[in-house]
Structure 1
Amino acid sequence: MEILKSFDLEINDELFYLFSDLIYRTSGIKLGIHKKGLLVSRLLKRLTLLGIKDFHCYLKRVKSDNEELVQMLNCISTNTTKFFREKYHFEYLKDRVMPELIQSCRDRTIRIWSAGCSTGEEPYSIAMTVFEALRNMGMDDGTWDIKILATDISTKVLGVAEEGIYELEQLPDTLPGDMITRYFLKGVGKNRGRIKVKDSLKEAIRFRRLNLKDRTYPFKRKFDVIFCRNVMIYFDEDMKQHVLSNFHYYLSSTGYLFLGHSEAMLDREQFTPVYITVYRKR
């Protein structure tokens, strides 16, 4: 507590709006004034670590230091996820989307993008679903080229995702034991109760930092499926439209877009609803 006394923990409305404007311009994340307490609590860790005494000085730092700007965005990003979250999406991917892709893909190539992948549970769940679909159809012969791109603005969560180590209890109770054995290693000794994603699953996924605020995205090939769930709830209408327009561009001609359960589709001219918050490119 003595350390905190030397810091100016106050942030007035004017300073808050300077931070929120910077965050919006660099990430698309919209923070209302009611988020002032959240901003203070999350950025205080950086001030303490850097020995910066007040938020005015920290604002100057992030404006002049791109690496610290990334660290600030790491702190601000909300990262709540779990394996097979919104299970019905993965069932639809396995039972409807995958059979269609398998039938229509002449070059046996499937590309999927997990946008806002957080700590990796979503892309690993996607990969397991894809491999199980191939397995169930008797097509897991190693001749399919499956690539999943997993992106996030936070370098911190991407580090966790690439490591692929989780608590066993993070897996759903309903996940069959043979799937756990196929895709995870169970920890022993001091790592008992933990699991590690097997390399055979990791190899299908590439983790990259990407800012959805960017005007365009650095992709050469279209995606068959895009997952962007519970991400756009942090964006305003302009940012949502920007992201949806880019998704439409980077989807294949009949590609699928999966959104979060609380996210409504704004652009019905470019996307057609086909299932619960699942849309198809027009």
Structure 2
Amino acid sequence: MSAIEIGSIFAAPSYPPAVPEDFDRCVKLLQKRAGIVLGEHKREMIGRILGARAKAVNMQTIRSYLDLLAQNPGAQEWEHFINAFTINHTAFFRERHHFEMLADFVKRRRAPVSIWCCAASTGEEVYTIALTLAQAGHTAENGARIWATDIDTEAVQRARQGVYSMDRVKPVPPDRLRTYFQRGTGKNAGMVRVKPVLRNMVEFDVLNLLDPSWPIQGKFDAIFCRNIMIYFDKETQSRILDRFAPVLKPDGLLFAGHSENFTYLTKAFRLRGQTVYVRS
């Protein structure tokens, strides 16, 4: 085999190139649809994603690809477009102090307890919430419910499966790992699956927080909205926070990400602890 032939095998895939107008248009489309704000420093990433998606749908130019989105608000490609720009950085017991506070909080709440995790990602946070509720005596048997939503359809599908590598569940204490997770065998060795005692509490849905209405039944004792507001502008953050307040029960809690500060964005909540707010 010649050197040219070898080089062609390992050559990087050829994607349609992006021009400045493509970047600007993409940013506007994404913000309008999903609220996600992309900065100038993301241009290289945006170009790669747009080129890959354009090629995936057999478009010769990124302009044509963006035309497809703009002219077809109900197109299936919107799902892939948004998924490509979402960030699914999550972990079991991330920001552990939140779950310590949740455990103390739900011990004093009357059943049934209801929680909304509105940035569910691939499920690690959701099942940590479920585990915390179970440890405090709240399970599906006494009505405990977790509504787990995310805009990323692929992430939600993975979360529903509740299957993780042993490396992913390292933050889970060994005794709770034995109680709430089933170890895989054979071809599934090295993997674990969340047991029904936790999974039965959770209802997963795809949801865009910018949707004009949310299909909510009843009110929640707590809302987990962690590490998602940082991708929205201040106006969008304030609007979402004001919509959270009416769907929380009196004295309900709102859990935010470690780098998020809602104190000056709304009067609907007041700070209770480290990145934890209570409905005013």
Cα distance between partner residues in 1 of 2:50 and 2:99:
35
How many residues are matched? 268
Cα distance between partner residues in 1 of 2:170 and 2:12:
42
* SS of alignment partner, residue 92 of structure 1: helix
Q: Show the counterpart of 1:112.
A: 115
1:143: how far off?
Answer: 5.0
The answer to whether structure 1 residue 146 and structure 2 residue 144 are counterparts is yes
Show structure 2 runs of 5+ residues with no match.
1-7
Report the TM-score when normalising by structure 1.
Answer: 0.90
The answer to whether structure 1 residue 43 and structure 2 residue 50 are counterparts is yes
| Alignment-mate amino acid for residue 150 of structure 1 | A
* SS of alignment partner, residue 216 of structure 1: coil
1:36: how far off?
Answer: 1.3
Q: State the 4+ residue runs in structure 1 displaced beyond 4 angstroms.
A: none
1:250: how far off?
Answer: 1.1
Please point out which of 107, 110, 121 is paired with 1:99: 107
The answer to whether structure 1 residue 123 and structure 2 residue 129 are counterparts is no
Aligned partners of 2:16 and 2:55 also within 8 Å: no
Q: Show the counterpart of 2:244.
A: 247
- CA RMSD across the alignment: 1.8
Cα distance between partner residues in 1 of 2:198 and 2:92:
14
| Alignment-mate amino acid for residue 27 of structure 2 | S
| Alignment-mate amino acid for residue 256 of structure 2 | L
Cα distance between partner residues in 2 of 1:37 and 1:50:
21
| Alignment-mate amino acid for residue 206 of structure 1 | E
Deviations 1:136-191 (A, max 9, x none): xxx77x75210000000010100100011111111134x33221122111111222
Cα distance between partner residues in 2 of 1:171 and 1:4:
35
Show structure 1 runs of 5+ residues with no match.
none
| Alignment-mate amino acid for residue 84 of structure 1 | F
Report the TM-score when normalising by structure 2.
Answer: 0.90
Aligned partners of 2:118 and 2:148 also within 8 Å: yes
Please point out which of 198, 217, 234 is paired with 1:201: 198
Q: Show the counterpart of 2:87.
A: 78
Q: Show the counterpart of 2:24.
A: 17
* SS of alignment partner, residue 131 of structure 1: helix
Cα distance between partner residues in 2 of 1:203 and 1:99:
20
Change beyond 3 A, Cα 1:206–1:73 = same
Deviations 1:180-226 (A, max 9, x none): 12211111122211111112211100000110112231213111100
* SS of alignment partner, residue 264 of structure 1: coil
Higher mean C-alpha displacement, 13-22 vs 255-264: 13-22
